[in-house]
């Protein structure tokens, strides 16, 4: 079933009579699970009020490029980064012409240039305008730039003409928007993902931990849901909202995480060990707060269980994916770790790089499997997560084909 769970849809509304349909489009997008924000051109505001779309979306409507309050935080750039999809509906002939020529003379066209998200355009104009050679050329330019189109539909138009140029119906556009994310690669599969740090208690107050934010694991959970999987997230302590349609189990220590992973992986198809699990824990947990005393104290640490190796060594076992957060010799260490622990795949990244390390919103990784590897260049963790899920789906298909041939 198509959905937009966990997705940020930025809806651009330009100045045509079809702007009245944008209100229903907001509702359709929300029913599929999307968070919706709206940009309106000045022309659009002549057909439908910003207040209407604000009330429906639950978010302020953005109308001006040079808004001094918004631009204090580079508002147009933040909108461009927020979007998982920029959907422009209706897109008038004028708006399409400005997109085709790379104009940035209002908020909507500026965001279109500034976003890395895919763009979906729903044209709406008079049938003769649609057939005009200038419009035909402009549409071809958008297609060549990988901007997607939906419609226009044919029928009677507001001016009385009959022909192509009507904006597609909101439910059709919403379903097309959902198709950008709902890959179905893992349809019917059960996926278990660990995320975040563990905390190993020293006493009732203090603990040993690390800087993991959990962002990568949570992004993977969203991507797994998009791919159709029934998804369970076993999370260490993080300050993140649970993704929609994800079962979340909270844990603190590595021992608790292992217990839950063993329980949830029973009968699962895929296990992704994204958590930054502490390698060691205190041998003894003090029942009272440790008081300040000598200048130097020593801690007696014992090794924690190896969660990913334990799951990979099970029989039966899920397709098991590990993570290798390294600061040097990243790929060689990761490949050795994959072989030593018997993993099907490992994702390596350089956490010494501040731009892609712990707590960052971006990542850059190398995905490694026994017969190959693929570099995923720097992108948002959401984008990286979708690419990892796609590679997992591809490897499972390849493994199934190899087993059938045997």
CATH number at residue 90: 3.40.50.1950
In a domain, 184, yes or no: no
Number of independent structural domains in the chain: 2
Q: Is 301 found in the same domain as 174?
A: no
Domain range for 355 is: 190-405
Q: Among the three residues 149, 179, 209, which one is the final residue of a domain in this structure?
A: 179
Ramachandran angles phi, psi of 102, nearest 5°: 75, 25
Q: Is 198 found in the same domain as 59?
A: no
> Reduced to 3 states, what is the DSSP secondary structure of residue 183?
coil
Strand segments (E) across 196-332: 200-201, 207-208, 230-235, 246-250, 270-273, 280-282, 301-303, 319-326
What count of other Cβ atoms lies within 10 Å of the Cβ of residue 127? 18
In a domain, 234, yes or no: yes
Q: Is 175 found in the same domain as 248?
A: no
- The structure tokens listed for 47 are 């057909």
In a domain, 256, yes or no: yes
In a domain, 99, yes or no: yes
> Reduced to 3 states, what is the DSSP secondary structure of residue 345?
strand
Q: Is 220 found in the same domain as 102?
A: no
Q: Is 80 found in the same domain as 103?
A: yes
- The structure tokens listed for 145 are 């730039």
Q: Is 274 found in the same domain as 130?
A: no
pLDDT per position as a tens digit, 321-348: 999 988 788 889 999 999 999 999 999 9
The DSSP line for 380-402 is EHHHHHHHHHHHHHHHHHHHHHH
Q: Is 194 found in the same domain as 131?
A: no
Q: Is 382 found in the same domain as 238?
A: yes
Q: Among the three residues 160, 179, 198, which one is the final residue of a domain in this structure?
A: 179
- The secondary element (H helix, E strand) that includes residue 91 is strand 85-91
Full-model pTM: 0.71
In a domain, 3, yes or no: no
Cβ-Cβ contacts under 8 Å for 46 (sequence gap 6 or more): 15
Q: Which long-range contacts (CB under 8 A, 24 or more apart) does 282-288 make?
A: 282/200, 282/201, 282/202, 282/208, 285/201, 285/202, 285/203, 286/202, 286/203, 286/204, 287/203, 287/204, 288/203, 288/204
Q: Could you give the CA distance from residue 302 to residue 52 in angstroms, rounded to a whole number?
A: 61
**Look-up: residue for tokens 């699962």?**
268
Q: Is 243 found in the same domain as 136?
A: no
In a domain, 252, yes or no: yes
Catalytic residues: 159
Instruction: Say how many CA atoms lie within 13 Å of 382 toward its Cβ.
Output: 15
Residue 258: give its domain's CATH number.
3.40.50.10300
In a domain, 123, yes or no: yes
Q: Is 252 found in the same domain as 129?
A: no
Q: Among the three residues 152, 179, 206, which one is the final residue of a domain in this structure?
A: 179
Q: Is 124 found in the same domain as 259?
A: no
Ramachandran angles phi, psi of 29, nearest 5°: -65, -40
In a domain, 329, yes or no: yes
Q: Is 249 found in the same domain as 284?
A: yes
- The structure tokens listed for 299 are 């801690």
Tens place of pLDDT per residue across the chain (406 aa): 567 877 899 999 999 899 999 999 999 999 988 999 999 999 999 999 999 999 999 999 999 887 655 544 446 788 998 999 999 999 999 999 999 999 999 999 999 999 989 999 999 998 889 999 999 999 999 999 999 999 898 877 666 777 788 899 999 999 999 888 866 789 889 999 999 999 999 999 999 999 899 999 999 999 999 888 999 999 999 999 999 889 999 999 999 999 999 999 999 999 999 999 999 999 999 999 989 888 888 889 999 999 999 999 999 999 999 999 887 888 899 999 999 999 999 999 887 777 776 778 888 999 999 999 999 998 888 889 989 999 999 999 887 766 666 5
pLDDT per position as a tens digit, 74-123: 467 889 989 999 999 999 999 999 999 999 999 999 999 999 899 999 99
């Amino acid at each position: 079933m198509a959905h937009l769970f966990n997705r940020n849809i930025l809806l651009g509304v330009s100045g045509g009579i079809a702007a009245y349909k944008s209100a229903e489009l907001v509702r359709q997008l929300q029913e599929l699970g999307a968070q919706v924000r709206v940009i309106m051109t000045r022309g659009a505001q002549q057909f439908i009020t910003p207040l209407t779309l604000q009330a429906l979306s639950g978010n302020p409507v953005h109308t001006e490029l040079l808004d001094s309050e918004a631009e204090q935080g580079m508002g147009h750039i933040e909108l461009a980064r927020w979007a998982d999809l920029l959907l422009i509906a209706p897109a008038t002939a004028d708006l399409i012409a400005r997109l085709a020529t790379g104009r940035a003379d209002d908020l909507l066209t500026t965001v279109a240039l500034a976003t890395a998200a895919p763009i979906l355009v729903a044209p709406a104009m008079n049938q003769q305008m649609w057939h005009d050679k200038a419009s035909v050329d402009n549409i071809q330019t958008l297609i060549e730039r990988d901007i997607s189109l939906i419609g226009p539909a044919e029928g009677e138009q507001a001016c009385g003409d009959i022909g192509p140029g009507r904006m597609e119906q909101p439910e059709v556009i919403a379903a097309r928007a959902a198709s950008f994310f709902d890959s179905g690669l893992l349809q019917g599969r059960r996926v278990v993902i660990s995320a975040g740090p563990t905390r190993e208690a020293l006493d009732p107050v203090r603990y040993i931990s690390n800087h993991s934010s959990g962002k990568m694991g949570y992004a993977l959970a969203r991507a797994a849901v998009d791919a159709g999987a029934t998804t369970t997230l076993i999370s260490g302590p993080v300050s993140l909202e649970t993704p929609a349609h994800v079962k979340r189990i909270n844990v603190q220590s590595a021992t608790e995480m292992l217990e839950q992973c063993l329980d949830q992986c029973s009968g699962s198809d895929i296990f992704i060990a994204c958590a930054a699990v502490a390698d060691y824990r205190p041998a003894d947990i003090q029942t009272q707060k440790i008081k300040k005393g000598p200048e130097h104290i020593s801690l007696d640490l014992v090794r924690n269980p190896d969660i990913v190796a334990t799951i990979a060594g099970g029989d039966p076992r899920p397709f098991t994916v590990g993570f290798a957060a390294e600061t040097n010799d990243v790929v060689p260490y990761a490949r050795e770790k994959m072989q030593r622990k018997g993993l099907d795949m490992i994702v390596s990244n350089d956490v010494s790089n501040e731009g892609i390390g712990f707590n960052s919103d971006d990542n850059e990784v190398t995905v490694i499997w026994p017969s190959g590897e693929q570099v995923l260049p720097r992108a948002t963790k959401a984008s990286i997560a979708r690419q990892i899920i796609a590679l997992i789906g591809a490897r499972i298909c390849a493994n199934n084909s190899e087993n059938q041939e045997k």
